[in-house]
């Protein structure tokens, strides 16, 4: 078992609903959610001409190895309609894998711990 830390964010299409849906999909597909932060607002950075984000951090207990977990998160984003039209642009859902236990990873798919 691994303990993974995931940050979810949304600033399009009812962001609160998007975060809830992502949380449900993560629980169904990736593992048991052990803890969830309060939902908080944050301003965009990089491309700032967009709405503020709503964010929530999750702690998930999973049997998925880090790269398999990242693939699952990317599939959830795609299933929820994420479109990658602009780097750092507005998005329906963004799922970042921040940490997995004390593991490090540096592959084209995944960098752990997350650099930002």
| 60-68 mean pLDDT | 95
Catalytic residue among 82, 84, 86, 92: 82
Phi-psi bin for 33: left (phi > 0), alpha (psi -120 to 50), beta? beta
pLDDT at 25 over 90: yes
Q: Which of 25, 29, 91, 116 is catalytic?
A: 91
Does the pLDDT of residue 68 top 80, yes or no? yes
Look at the pTM and tell me if it is higher than 0.75: yes
Catalytic: 94? yes
| Rounded average pLDDT over 13-42 | 97
Residue 115 has pLDDT above 70, yes or no: no
Active-site residue, selected from the candidate residues 84, 94, 106, 116: 94
Q: Is the pLDDT of residue 111 over 80?
A: no
- Listed in order, strand segments (DSSP E) in the chain are 2-10, 32-36, 40-42, 53-62, 94-100, 105-106, 111-112
Task: Please confirm, yes or no, whether 96 is among the known catalytic residues.
Answer: yes
**Active-site position among 92, 96, 101, 116:** 96
82 is annotated as an active-site residue: yes
Residue 65: the pLDDT is 92
* 72 HSE (CA, 13 A, CB side): 21
Interstrand relation of 40-42 and 2-10 (parallel, antiparallel or unpaired): unpaired
How open is the CA angle 72-111-20, to the nearest 5 degrees?
A: 40
Q: Any long-range contacts for 110-116 (C-beta under 8 Å, 24+ apart)?
A: 110/66, 110/67, 110/70, 112/66, 114/7
| Active-site residue, 13 included | no
Please give the average per-residue pLDDT across 34-60, as a whole number: 95
Average pLDDT over residues 58-72: 95
């Amino acid at each position: 078992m691994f303990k993974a830390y995931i940050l979810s964010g949304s600033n399009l299409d009812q962001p609160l609903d998007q975060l809830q849906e992502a949380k449900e999909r993560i629980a169904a597909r990736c593992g048991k959610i052990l803890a969830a932060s309060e939902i908080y607002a944050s301003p965009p950075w990089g491309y700032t001409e967009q709405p503020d984000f709503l964010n929530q951090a999750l702690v998930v207990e999973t049997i998925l190895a880090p790269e398999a977990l990242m693939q699952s998160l990317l599939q959830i984003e795609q299933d929820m309609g994420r479109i990658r039209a602009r780097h750092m642009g507005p998005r329906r859902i963004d799922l970042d894998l921040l940490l997995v236990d004390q593991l490090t990873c540096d592959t084209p798919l995944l960098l752990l711990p997350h650099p930002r």
